[in-house]
Structure formats: structure tokens, C-alpha cells
Amino acid sequence: MNEYALELHFSENLIWVFTAFVALVLLVLGAGILIMMRINRYKEEQRRQIRAQWKDLLAEMLMEENVGEQDLRLPPEFEAALQKPFVRRVLASELVRTQQSLRGNMNETITAVYNQLQLADQSLALLHSRKWHRKAKGIQQLSSMGQYQVAELIVDLTNHPNLSVRNEAQLGMIRLEGPDGLRFLNSLQHALSEWQQFNLLHQMQLYTGVELPDMDGWLLGSQQSVVVFAIRLCRLFQLFGYAGQIEGLQRHSNTAIRREANQCLHHWGLTELYTEEMLRKAMATPLAQPLTA
């Protein structure tokens, strides 16, 4: 019985040690919550101020329409605040956000602001960061702000092992070079997800009316996601000249390609919509024969 009591006493002490540890962690957590709330409130206020000042500046620029780099006058308190890295980070993100929602001359003005405030140095530092999210942020900022000199750096990142980095790099290439930026497709090592294709096509919509590079290489290439993407590009830009190649792709061994090719031709009114079974059967038929329902 003594042994049992000793055992119980030992386990009780052990539990109190654990409890004390848990209490200590609880105190740290409680303090963490309060500190985090303060930090959030401070950052929120800072962000609000920067956004408000940026909005005023933007409104002023909209009134004057063509503000060049030389004409940009920043309020002194804004200029002083810009010495802080946090403020510069917020402003750079704000510029990118505005850029995404505006079109035309205003974009050039925003780029001018970005250049004048020398935010590119900060974005370049992000681009060279080893952390994936910073690298991707850097790509986004530099490409949105038309920093053409970094195109070769960015094209190297279109095959980056991190999904977010390579997605941003691919989008960045289109932002910088337009349809010519699609050259990254020639050396693509990873499949383009449906999401990325949607993003790229959305970006490409800005260039309707601009001549696209030759699509044959992509349509007849071995990277299946690139073939699907190329068909979608043809459909989006109404490139009827590639109808022959796309017709042939209805007999491709890959299901997604067959379906996409058929949908594209159907969209153009050149064929009817086939079921998967019909498309599979068509695989066995020689290329010269047209598909029949």
C-alpha cells in the first residue's frame, strides 16, 4: 500500500509539473493575443493612412490626367513616411492593386509613381529572396510595373519548383511582353493547371487584336497541357487558320485534348459536339476521314 501511495504521490507531482507548464504556455498565449491585437491595430491604422494618402494622390493625378515623372509632388509627410520599409511594402502592394483595376494611360502614371519612389529596388530584393512567397511577390510587382529589364530573370523562373513562383513568373512574362511572353511555353517542364490556364487566358484577353506567335509548335507539341492551352488560345482569339490542326487533335490519344478540340470546333460552328465515346472511336479512324456522329 505504501508503494501505491508513493506511486500516486509521484504521478500527482508529475501532473502538477505538467499543469504548471500548461499554465505558463497559457500566460504566453494570453500575452501573445494582446500583443498581436496591438500590432494588428497599429498596422491597420498605418495601412489606412497610406491608403488614404494614396487615394488622394491618385485622385489628384486623375484630375490632371497626364502626370509625368517630373510632375509628381508628394505631400511631405507622405514622403517622410516612405522611409519606413513597412510603408514602402504597403504602397507597392497598393500600386499593384490599383494597376490591376485600371486600364490605359493611368497605368503609365502609376508606373511613373513606382519608378519615382524607387520601389523597384525593394521589388528586386524580393525577387532574389529565397522564400517562395517573397519571390512571387517580387515577380508580381516588377512585372505589373513594367520593369522590362527583368524579363530574362523572370523567364528563368517559369519552371521554378514552387507552384506560386512559376505561376507568377508565367503571368509576369505576359504582363511584360504581351503575347510574345508566351515563349515560356516552348520550354515548359511542369503541366499547366486549369487554374493557371484560366489566369493566363484572362491576362491574354487584354491583347485581343494583337498578333499571336505561331501556334503550330504548341498545338502539335508533346506537353499535353500546352496543347489544351493552345487550343483555348485559338478559340479565344478566333484563330480559324488553325482549324485543320485542331480537327486532327480530335483524334489525339489524350482525352482532355480530344474534348477541348471538339469543343473549340463546335464553338466555331465547324462540327457538332461529340460524346466521349464517339471521340474515343474516332481515335482509330485515319486522320483524313472527317468525324461522323
- The grid coordinates of residue 91 equal 504602397
Distance (Å, whole) CA 223 – CA 221? 6
Q: Comparing C-alpha atoms, which of 242, 244, 184, 178 is closest to residue 215?
A: 242
Q: How far is the CB of 231 from other proteins (least distance, A)?
A: 14
**Among the listed residues 30, 68, 75, 217, the single contact to other proteins using CB under 8 A:** 30
The enclosing H or E element of 116 equals helix 105-116
**Among the listed residues 8, 220, 270, 287, the single contact to other proteins using CB under 8 A:** 8
- The grid coordinates of residue 224 equal 499535353
**Among the listed residues 53, 140, 223, 250, the single contact to other proteins using CB under 8 A:** 140
Q: Is 15 among the residues that bind other proteins (CB under 8 A)?
A: yes
Q: Comparing C-alpha atoms, which of 259, 199, 207, 265 is closest to residue 235?
A: 265
Q: How far is the CB of 289 from other proteins (least distance, A)?
A: 31
- Pick between residue 73 and residue 133 the one whose CB is nearest to other proteins: 133
Annotate each residue in 152-171 with x if it binds other proteins (CB under 8 A) or - if it does not, as one string. ------------x--xx---
**Among the listed residues 6, 36, 125, 273, the single contact to other proteins using CB under 8 A:** 36
- Which amino acid appears at position 187 of this protein? S
Q: Is 201 among the residues that bind other proteins (CB under 8 A)?
A: yes
Distance (Å, whole) CA 25 – CA 27? 5
CA angle 12, 18, 23 (to 5 degrees): 125
Q: Phi and psi at residue 91, in whole multiples of 5°?
A: -65, -40
Residues lying near other proteins in the complex (CB under 8 A) = 8, 11-12, 15-16, 18-19, 22-23, 25-26, 29-30, 32-33, 36-37, 40, 44, 93, 97, 100-101, 133, 136-137, 140, 164, 167-168, 191, 193-196, 198-199, 201-202, 205, 225, 236
